[in-house]
Amino acid sequence: MIDNASLTAVQRVLGDIVVSNPDTVNGDLVAFENLVQAILFYDDLVCIDSYKPEYRESRKKEFAFVRFVAPEEVSLNPVEKKAKSEADSIRPEVRGGEFVDNDFSALLQMLKMNMVCTWDMASSNYYLTMKMLGQPNTPEFQKYSEVSASIFSELSDVGNTYGRWSNAARFVGSDGQEHTSNITSALTTFIASLNWLAYKSIYYSLAASYLKADTFLHPIRHAYQIHWMRKTGAFGHDFTSKLLGALKIELSTTVEKIIDNGRSQAISMEIPIFSAWLALQGGDVSSVIRSALEIRNNNEFQEIRGMLRDIRVAYDEEGFSEANKRISRLELELKKASDKTLSLYGIRTDQGFSTSFIMKAYNSVAAIKGLPQFPEFDFKIPLPAFLGTKSSSFSCVYKNVTAELTSIERLGGVRDILGARFNIDDERYSPPKTEAPEYRYVTSHWKKPM
């Protein structure tokens, strides 16, 4: 299941929608990668058709390979009511300059988004203003800018889809006094964006659980989804997508080992690996989706989808213990494919597979269900001889991806290819306000702590 926000992000990547804030670019590329993975590794792509009528047909035409399902068609009214009820229970509160409610405070901490609110002078009055706690032109500032831009971009969805919109919040000074006026529009908009983000994340999570589907949400919504799942104990509908994440990590690690072989300095593969692979093959980001739709019918991808399908059915019908047997097979295939690819490049490998992946998968369930957890020790289980020679679908995928991504000359231009079609309106960009940590509690004639 893909949300409408991710499809909008894909349109921004392809240049069909103007980007008003360049800080959203990396999040959009992640959403683009998610769509490519969904095409390659899932049998069916579904989007809830909650777009307003005047926009529906154009969206369906743009994404003809996605099956759009009307909420009433699959009886999602109870899901919508439950999502609104959950979202209504959220009470945003800013106290002493920080979010202190259990929901948004936990989310911002998880995102390591250090922000503070202060009273700043404007037109002879003090207004409550949101700022980043830190210095401009630093890695922390860049991360804050990207995360806040992704949160603000949530409201771009409001005009096109239905949902719960609210900018209600409680503002309390460090002296205990409650404030209801002189709140900057940027802060109220940020809160409205957080409320919309929470509602949409909860809605898609509940809908996916009801329809027994995995979710591919826009990255910022996925972050809130993780928080909400921890808070409520909801788990299960994204089980196989976690395994798909393991394939991507294993591929990235393999490519890094090949590139690093004989080098004194390691190279980190911080690129969306499947969309990068297809972009390098086609030479243009606009060809990526078309290529993914073509090669998804290849035998190797059909076989991998079959394995993921078996794991998902086993988990839904018989629980983790039965699914774990199939996870072991998938892990064996991943390890074989990785070792075979590395050996082609003359890199030695251990003949075995790590148990740590299975431990992590088990522990993610155990933590929520209150089961005993195991330490994530890392020992090798030797591969049976008959498994060492047989070629697999994973080997084929590994070979194709690594052949493209291990070319340093081409790899250097992959981000240029992926970002080439963004249509950015620089004139509308306004960088976030900042507050130096050492001056947070300092009072002056132009600023007061909350």
Query: Between these two residues, 230 and 370, which has the higher pLDDT value?
Result: 230
In a domain, 342, yes or no: yes
- 395: domain range? 239-418
Q: How confident is the model at residue 260 (pLDDT cuts 50, 70, 90)?
A: very low
pLDDT for 136 beyond 70: yes
Check whether 309 has a pLDDT greater than 60.
yes
Give the span between the Cα atoms of 252 and 402, in whole angstroms. 9
Report the Cα–Cα distance between both ends of the chain, in Å, rounded: 42
Dump the DSSP string for 84-120: HHHHHT---EEETTEE-STTHHHHHHHTT--EEEEEE
**Using CA atoms, how far apart are residues 49 and 181, in angstroms rounded to an integer?**
38
Residue 271 has what pLDDT? 66
Cβ partners under 8 Å of residue 151, min gap 6: 190, 193, 194, 197, 220
- Residue 413 is assigned to a structural domain of this protein: yes
| Structural tokens at position 12 | 């921004």
Q: Is residue 322 part of a domain?
A: yes
Higher pLDDT, 48 or 145: 48
pLDDT at 255 over 70: no
Q: What tokens were used for 98?
A: 């920080």
Query: Higher pLDDT residue, 387 or 200?
Result: 200
Report the pLDDT averaged over residues 375-387. Answer: 36
Q: Mark 267-290 as b/e (b = at least 16 C-beta within 10 Å).
A: eebebbbbbbbbbbbeeebeebbe
Contacts of 215 (CB under 8 A, 6+ apart): 1, 2, 3, 204, 205, 208, 222, 225, 237, 238, 241
- pLDDT score at 420: 86
Q: Which of 19-23, 42-46, 62-66 has the highest mean pLDDT?
A: 62-66
- Residue partners of 16: CB distance under 8 A and separation at least 6: 62
pTM: 0.75
Element (H or E) spanning 245, and its range?
Answer: helix 239-260
CB 337 within 8 Å of CB 395: yes
CA atoms within 13 A on the CB side of 202: 27
| Of 27-36, 152-161, 198-207, the least confident | 152-161
What pLDDT, on a 0 to 100 scale, did the predictor assign at position 331? 65
Interaxial angle between packed helices 288-295 and 273-282, expressed in degrees from 0 to 180 and rounded to the nearest 10:
100
List 130's β-bridge partners, or say none: 117
Only one residue has tokens 């963004």, namely 422
Percent of the chain with pLDDT over 90: 20
Q: Check residue 160 and give its pLDDT.
A: 61
- 357 versus 120: the higher-pLDDT residue is 120
CB 395 within 8 A of CB 78: no
Q: Residue 376 pLDDT > 50, yes or no? A: no
d(CA 63, CA 407): 32
What is the separation of C-alpha 78 from the centre of its chain, rounded to a whole number of angstroms? Answer: 26
- Give the pLDDT mean for 242-269: 48
Helices and strands in the chain: count of H runs, count of E runs: 17, 12
pLDDT at 289: 95
Q: Among the listed ranges 18-32, 138-152, 211-225, which one has the minimum average pLDDT value?
A: 138-152
Quick one: pLDDT band at residue 305, thresholds 50, 70, 90?
confident
Q: Which of 77-81, 129-133, 352-356 bottoms out in mean pLDDT, i.e. has the lowest?
A: 352-356
Phi, psi of 96 (to 5 degrees): 60, 25
- C-alpha to C-alpha distance for 222 and 154, rounded to whole angstroms: 13
Confidence band (pLDDT; 50, 70, 90) for 61?
very high
Q: In this predicted model, which residue has the larger pLDDT, 383 or 289?
A: 289
Report helix, strand or coil for 229. helix
pLDDT at 251: 53
Structure tokens of 61? 């035409």
- pLDDT tens profile 263-302: 333 333 456 778 888 888 888 899 999 999 998 988 888 8
411 inside domain:
yes
Q: Report how many domains make up the chain.
A: 1
d(CA 365, CA 386): 32
Long-range CB contacts for residues 109-117, cutoff 8 Å, separation at least 24: 110/223, 110/226, 110/227, 111/147, 111/223, 112/143, 113/143, 113/144, 113/147, 113/148, 114/140, 114/144, 115/144, 115/148, 116/435, 116/440, 116/450, 117/171, 117/187, 117/450
Among 219-223, 258-262, 310-314, name the most confident range.
Answer: 219-223
Compute the Cα dihedral for 272, 278, 282, 284 and give only its sign: negative
What are 117-121's contacts with CB under 8 Å, separation 24+?
Answer: 117/171, 117/187, 117/450, 118/435, 118/440, 118/447, 118/448, 118/449, 118/450, 119/182, 119/447, 119/448, 119/449, 119/450, 120/446, 120/447, 121/445, 121/446, 121/447
Q: Tell which wins on pLDDT, 37 or 232.
A: 37
Residue 227 within any structural domain of the chain: no
Residue 300 CA to residue 443 CA, distance in Å, equals: 64
Structure-model confidence comparison of residues 176 and 227, the more confident one: 176
Distance CA(370)–CA(383), nearest Å, equals 33
Res 316 pLDDT > 50:
yes
SS3 for 1? coil
Most confident of 7-11, 137-141, 321-325, 385-389: 7-11
Q: Are 116 and 420 in contact (CB under 8 A)?
A: no
Average pLDDT in the chain: 75
Q: pLDDT tier at 419 (50, 70, 90 boundaries)?
A: confident
Q: Which of 34-48, 142-156, 316-330, 347-361 has the lowest mean pLDDT?
A: 347-361
Structure tokens at 41: 């590794």
User: Does residue 110 belong to any structural domain of this protein?
Assistant: no
Establish if 297 belongs to a structural domain.
Answer: yes
- As a whole number, mean pLDDT of residues 66-89 equals 90
How far, in Å, are 201, 216, 279, 349 from residue 230 at the CA level?
A: 13, 18, 36, 37
pLDDT at 210: 86
125-133 and 115-122 strand pairing: antiparallel
Q: Is residue 192 part of a domain?
A: no
pLDDT > 80? residue 322:
no
The answer to whether residue 439 scores a pLDDT higher than 60 is: yes
Q: Mean of the pLDDT values across residues 207-225?
A: 84
Confidence at 249, pLDDT banded by 50, 70, 90: low
Answer whether 33's CB lies under 8 Å from 244's CB: no
Instruction: Say whether pLDDT at 24 is over 60.
Output: yes
pLDDT for 409 beyond 50: no
State the pLDDT at residue 176. Answer: 93
